[in-house]
Structure formats: C-alpha cells, structure tokens
Structure 1
C-alpha cells in the first residue's frame, strides 16, 4: 500500500490557518523554500512598521468618503525611530490647532500605529463601511494621525467635542499578517482614559481577516451600547456572536 505523503497532509490543513505548520525537513534543517518564506514574511513585517504613511495623499483619499476634509495631526514623536523607542510620545499630540470642535455624536481618527501599511490598504474601505453602518449619528470630519498610539485619540476626541471616538489604527505586524487594522472605541474620550475604558475590534484585513462590514456592524452595536450605558470598556460587552449562535 502506498504511504500518504506528509506534505499533502499538511497542505490540506494549511487551508484553515495562516500559521506555519508542517514545514518539513531537509536533513536536520528546514527546506530552503520555507526559510525563504520566513525571511520574506519577516521583511514584510519590518516594512509595515518602518515605511511611513504618506499623510497628505491618504488624507485626500479619506476626504472622498464624504465625511469632510480631514485634519492631519502628529504626535510628539518626531521620527519613526523615536516613535518606536518612546511610546509615551506617541500618546501626546504635537498640536491640535487644526481640529475644530463639532459637538458631534461620533468622531473618527485614522492612525498609522505600528502598521502604516494596514491603514493605507484598509483604512478607507473600513471608514466607508463605518459611515454606512452609523448613518443615524452625526459624524465630525475625520482626523488622520501620524506616529500615533491609541491614547493619542483621547486628546483628539476631546478637541473634536465628540461623544464617542473611534480610532482606526494599524496593528502590530506579525509573521503571518502585516496589514491588520484594529478599532478602539472610547465613549466620552479625554486624556487619562485607560485601556479598560475602551473596546477593541481587531484582525480587520479582508479577505483573510475580519471584513469591513462585520467590523462596522460590531462597532455599531458597541456604540449603541456605550451611548445607552454611558460608558465603554470592560463594562460593555460585544454579545453579537453569542446572539447569533442562539438565533
């Protein structure tokens, strides 16, 4: 009887995961093709972190979504190297003079975070889906933030005068995914908010990750809940998956 080939077995399992499984062996080492794949993935992750966002070009694309002309702000981290070495500077704004208070229900900040590539590839698509899912609310003109950490949004949200802030930010790249976005939702944003005051929706990078439409749907449910509860964070739970199973 012909024995099954191990490579064929692992190939079927790889269809359900982006993890590196069943890499094989060439003598006492990995096959050359697997080593090269790893190096390529590592290089892509490094590029995703270090290649800066073209803020002016990206802002022009954001304006086409129809939420108004975006302001562009930067954190106090003056370079990408400083941003990576000094997370504290990425949480503080250099200036908020470009932001006009709108007293709107919602505000969006599109931040480069640890993957400007993710924001460039998925930011406009996700913002468009959020606009459609949240059409019942008043929405302030968006803000594009560079060298930004999540907490920079607290300063921006307060300056915008919005009740709920949605930060769309590039997530830390890994060796499987270098272009993933996250959403961080904060109700009544102000400096001093902690991660316990936020809700996160992660792994947004279609077609392999979460879709724009599903992320927007969950965000809409969380925003509705935050407005009803008067707060976001650990007190606010996303129950959409459980409700879907019960249905």
Structure 2
C-alpha cells in the first residue's frame, strides 16, 4: 500500500494523518494530549458541547412562534400537550410524554376529519432542533405533498412529547398516517438534530417496529431538501402499500436522483413538479 504524502511529496507524519482524518468528521478523534490528559482547548470544547446539549434539553419550547411560522406557510395549526405537566415530569416519567392530556384529546376530537396525513411538530428532547429546523423542513416538504394531492390535518404542535404521542394524536384526528417531527436526544456534536417518524394507521400501543425514521436532519447533517424528498417518497409508498416500519425499506435514492437537479451555483434544487391540484386543508 502506498504511503500518503503531502504537497511536497513527503510521507505524512502520524499527527498529519490524524489531522487529515479529523477534517472528515465532527467526531472527537485525534485530540492530542497534555501529559496524561487532554489539551486545555479540547477540554474546554468538550465542556461547551456538553453545556449546549443540556441547554437543548431544557430550552423552553415556543409553540406560538412555531404556529406563526406555520400560518405564514398558508397552513393551520393547533396546540396540544402530553400528560406531562412540567419538564421535570417529562424527563422523569417518559410514559407521561406518550399520552395526551384530557384537554388535548377533546381538542383533537373536535378537529377530526378524513385526513391522509397528520404532521406533528414536537419538542421532544431538543427544543433547539425544532426551533431551528422544523419549519424549513416543512417548507421543503409542502410542495411535494401538494404534488401527491394529500389531505392534511391541521398541524399539531405538541409540547412535552415523546415519539409515541403521535399515535394517539393521529388516531383522534382520524388520519391514515402521521409524520412526527421531533427534537432528538442531543449529542455532543449535534444538539440540534431533528428526527422524522412516519407511522401508518396510528394508534396507541404501536412499537418502533411500526415506524420509519429519518434522523439527523439539520444543516450539519441531512439537509432539508434531500430529507423532504426521502419523506415524500416514504409517505407515497406507505399510503400505497398500507404499511410503515420494518416492511417498508427506504429506496428513495433513485427518487432523489430523479427529482433533484444540479443548479448553476452548485446547490441542489427540486426539479419542476408535475402539475396537480392540491387538496391541503387551510
């Protein structure tokens, strides 16, 4: 195997090899050392990342701002909450985050209809992820759902929510399928990671085996537009086949290649959609 070399055709040192590797990933590798410990700069960086992860979990959720941004997209929304009455309850009692409050059940029943899809925006374990990434993803996804001609329920903005809360929300709304956009557990390099969970025929008691998940949606991970195309493909296939979860494999790469075009500035943009009559509820 030939040696890696620098621009001067000199074999790379061990430190240079690690530096090259470190440039390819946000993972903490090749940090160096000072005696038997980390260098001070790396210790400070670790402390900052840990603080950012904690802040993401405890950042107050701002559902009114989310509702205003949804309205600007031409959609209606409704605010619901889980049975967890505080952030402390939510963190200590995961089961409370999986069931609705009585008031929210009544609100959802009043909005019940014949919907193809219910989109839920939930704080989860990172309100930071929602505040930064949920609306850009919805904006990228909306034209693709319009092309499919889907009937959308009012978007539910859910506080103190776990993933499974979407099952009960979808059942009360009468939706054939739910898309839960939720803040994922913060990592030390990604406090703003957004997860998207799709569940067909939602109802309480389902396990994660019944869901499809796309994770790490954020500018530093999976970008909004490719994520939207993946979600649109999965939604279309789930409604066609009547299932989600382990039996529905993500084979959307061909769809992404077909629906994304290279723009003159080097960025990826959606190809012009086929004309169709949207049936979105306002």
Deviations 1:127-165 (A, max 9, x none): 111111211212111010010001111111111111111
Aligned to 2:85: 78
Query: Is the 1:110–1:142 contact (alpha carbons within 8 Å) kept by the matching residues of 2?
Result: yes
**Residue from 217, 221, 228 that aligns with 1:216:** 228
- The answer as to 2:140 corresponding to 1:129 is yes
Equivalence map 1:1-247=2 (5 Å): 7-68=15-76, 70-94=77-101, 95-99=104-108, 100-135=111-146, 136-206=149-219, 208-241=220-253
Q: Give 5+ residue unaligned stretches, structure 2.
A: 1-9, 258-282
- TM-score calculated relative to the size of structure 1: 0.92
CA–CA distance in structure 1, aligned partners of residues 73 and 214 of structure 2: 21
How much is the aligned-residue C-alpha RMSD, in angstroms? 2.0
Structure 1 residue 7, shift from structure 2 partner: 4.9
Q: Give 5+ residue unaligned stretches, structure 1.
A: none
Structure 1 residue 190, shift from structure 2 partner: 1.3
Structure 1 residue 4, shift from structure 2 partner: 5.4
Deviations 1:171-214 (A, max 9, x none): 000101000001000111111221111110111011x2001111
Give the SS at the match of 2:105: coil
Query: Is the 1:110–1:123 contact (alpha carbons within 8 Å) kept by the matching residues of 2?
Result: yes
Provide the aligned length of Structure 1 versus Structure 2. 243
Query: Is the 1:67–1:140 contact (alpha carbons within 8 Å) kept by the matching residues of 2?
Result: no
CA–CA distance in structure 1, aligned partners of residues 139 and 113 of structure 2: 20
| Large movers: runs of 4+ above 6 Å | 242-245
Give the SS at the match of 1:199: strand
Deviations 1:36-79 (A, max 9, x none): 000000000000011121122222122212222x1111101111
Structure 1 residue 105, shift from structure 2 partner: 1.1
CA–CA distance in structure 2, aligned partners of residues 188 and 177 of structure 1: 31
CA–CA distance in structure 1, aligned partners of residues 174 and 18 of structure 2: 53
CA–CA distance in structure 1, aligned partners of residues 115 and 226 of structure 2: 24
Give the SS at the match of 1:217: helix
Give the SS at the match of 1:167: strand
